[in-house]
């Protein structure tokens, strides 16, 4: 059975996200730049890497391996095509994160930007337990009453996502992460032009005593 994210073309997705009235692609790019530079870590896993927005901020002298994870094979193929300079650093992994049989390697940092909305807290926690990162940096979208997809000429391209989307809130996310040993280290808001906002939350694995 095809997953809804496999039905959306990368062109439609990115054209919608970068509209002046949406600006999510640009804001996510800025957030990713900060996520990749804030911590001195050598291995990174990006959940929902799509076409690789933000990968231009990867510096191979600092980061030795980037795992780009996505369910859409076409997205990953374009990601590889766009970033030939990351050959030997970028490893794309096609995976349905809701499939318990999926194996994911360890990474020091996991970045999950607009991903938890589509897999839920429990599945996300299972992924984090498996990857066992020191740092987890998440970006969730805080919506208005107009819905989770901003109005645009591409609006109905995303109708198929209604069956898998979940509204996220920062408090349950922090509580869920705490249950598996992660302490919230920071929380920052990023305002969007249509009244919505992104909330970045970073979590650090608590050291055992």
Looking at residues 90-117, what average pLDDT do you find? 95
**38 pLDDT more than 90:** yes
Contact residues for 207 (Cβ-Cβ < 8 A; gap 6+): none
Angstrom distance (rounded) from CA 17 to CA 27: 10
**8 pLDDT more than 80:** yes
pLDDT digits (tens, 9 = 90+) for 97-107: 999 889 999 99
Calculate the average pLDDT of the chain. Answer: 92
**10 pLDDT more than 80:** yes
Inter-helix orientation angle 116-131/170-179, to 10°: 20
Looking at residues 10-17, what average pLDDT do you find? 93
Q: Which of 46, 67, 52, 31 is nearest to 139 (CA)?
A: 31
pLDDT band of 209, cuts 50, 70, 90 = very low
What pLDDT does residue 11 have? 95
Strand partners, 37: none
CATH of domain 4-205: 3.40.50.150
For 18-100, where are the alpha helices, taking DSSP H only? Answer: 24-37, 73-82
What pLDDT does residue 155 have? 84
Q: How many CB atoms lie within 10 A of CB 116?
A: 24
pTM of the model: 0.94
**115 pLDDT more than 90:** yes
pLDDT band of 154, cuts 50, 70, 90 = confident
Terminal C-alpha separation, the chain: 46
**164 pLDDT more than 70:** yes
Q: With pLDDT > 90 as the criterion, what percentage of the chain qualifies?
A: 75
What pLDDT does residue 151 have? 79
């Amino acid at each position: 059975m095809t997953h809804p994210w496999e039905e959306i073309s990368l062109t439609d997705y990115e054209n919608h996200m970068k509209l002046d009235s949406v600006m999510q692609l640009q804001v996510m790019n800025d957030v990713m730049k900060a996520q990749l530079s804030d911590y001195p870590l050598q291995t990174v896993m990006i959940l929902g890497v799509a076409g690789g927005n933000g990968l231009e901020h990867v510096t191979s002298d600092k980061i030795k391996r980037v795992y780009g994870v996505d369910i859409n094979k076409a997205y990953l193929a374009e990601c590889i095509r766009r970033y030939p300079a990351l050959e030997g650093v970028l490893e794309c992994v096609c995976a349905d994160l809701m499939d318990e049989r999926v194996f994911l390697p360890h990474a020091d940092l996991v970045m999950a930007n607009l991903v938890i909305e589509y897999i839920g807290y429990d599945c996300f926690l299972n992924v984090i337990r498996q990857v066992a990162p020191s740092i987890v940096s998440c970006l969730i979208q805080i919506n208005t009453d107009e819905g989770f997809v901003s109005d645009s000429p591409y609006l109905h391209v995303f109708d198929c996502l209604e069956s898998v989307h979940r509204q996220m809130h920062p408090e349950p996310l922090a509580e869920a992460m705490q249950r598996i040993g992660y302490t919230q280290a920071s929380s920052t808001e990023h305002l969007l032009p249509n009244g919505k906002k992104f909330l970045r939350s970073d979590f650090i694995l608590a050291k055992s005593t």
